[in-house]
Amino acid sequence: MAEAITIARPYATAIYRLAKEKKALSSWSDQLALMSSVSSDNRMKLIIEDPKLSSSELERLFLAVCEGKLDSNAINLVKLLVENNRLSILPDISGAFEDLKAQDEGILEAEITSASKPTDAQVKNLVKQLESKFQKKIEAKVTLDPQLIGGVTIVVGDTVIDASVRGQLQALAYTLKG
């Protein structure tokens, strides 16, 4: 079976185009966040996965939880996802939508993983360098991973920059193997 994001991306793209056309990006962002949190709820997951529940019952229950908070297009999305048995990918759709929105606004998200906690000045300098490289505003999220031994890894979109000691040791091992 295909990964959820592979299935979710076309939905997110279609929703994004509709939202941009209707100048409703913020509204869709809120609605998708709501639908995503509802579908991620443990009780709702059990309902979504219940094979005894008909599509119409699932649709009715899901929309009842979101009562009054979804516009007609969002309601149609729920109906479509229920019909295609894809309600569980709402978090992926929401995430892909937010990525498209940020990309259009010229904002990229960078995941900086460091072996030790970097100072604010180091993070600020790194963000400035990334903004220069990518020609877009960068929003950085810093996480710690002591297994890196030293240095950092940076993920911006599909680009991975591995400046960690662990990465250098792996590259050296690969080179020595021939």
Check residue 2 and give its pLDDT.
62
Question: pTM for this one?
Answer: 0.67
Percent residues over pLDDT 70 in the chain: 99
Q: State the chain's mean pLDDT as an integer.
A: 92
Task: Classify domain 4-102 at the CATH class level.
Answer: mainly alpha
* 3-state class (DSSP) for residue 173: helix
Q: Would you state the structure tokens that stand for residue 83, as one six-digit string?
A: 């019909």
Q: Kindly report, residue by residue over 95-109, the tens digit of the pLDDT.
A: 999 989 988 888 888
Residue in 87, 77, 104 with CA at minimum distance from that of residue 4: 87
Check residue 5 and give its pLDDT.
84
CATH architecture of 107-177: 3-Layer(aba) Sandwich (3.40)
Q: What is the largest CA-CA distance in the chain?
A: 63
Amino acid type, 166: R
Percent residues over pLDDT 90 in the chain: 76
Domain ranges of the chain: 4-102, 107-177
Q: Give the β-pairing of 107-114 and 137-144.
A: parallel
Confidence of residue 1 (pLDDT cuts 50, 70, 90): very low
pLDDT (average), residues 54-83: 95
Q: Do domains 4-102 and 107-177 have the same CATH topology?
A: no
Q: Kindly report, residue by residue over 7-62, the tens digit of the pLDDT.
A: 999 999 999 999 999 999 999 999 999 999 999 999 999 999 999 999 999 999 99
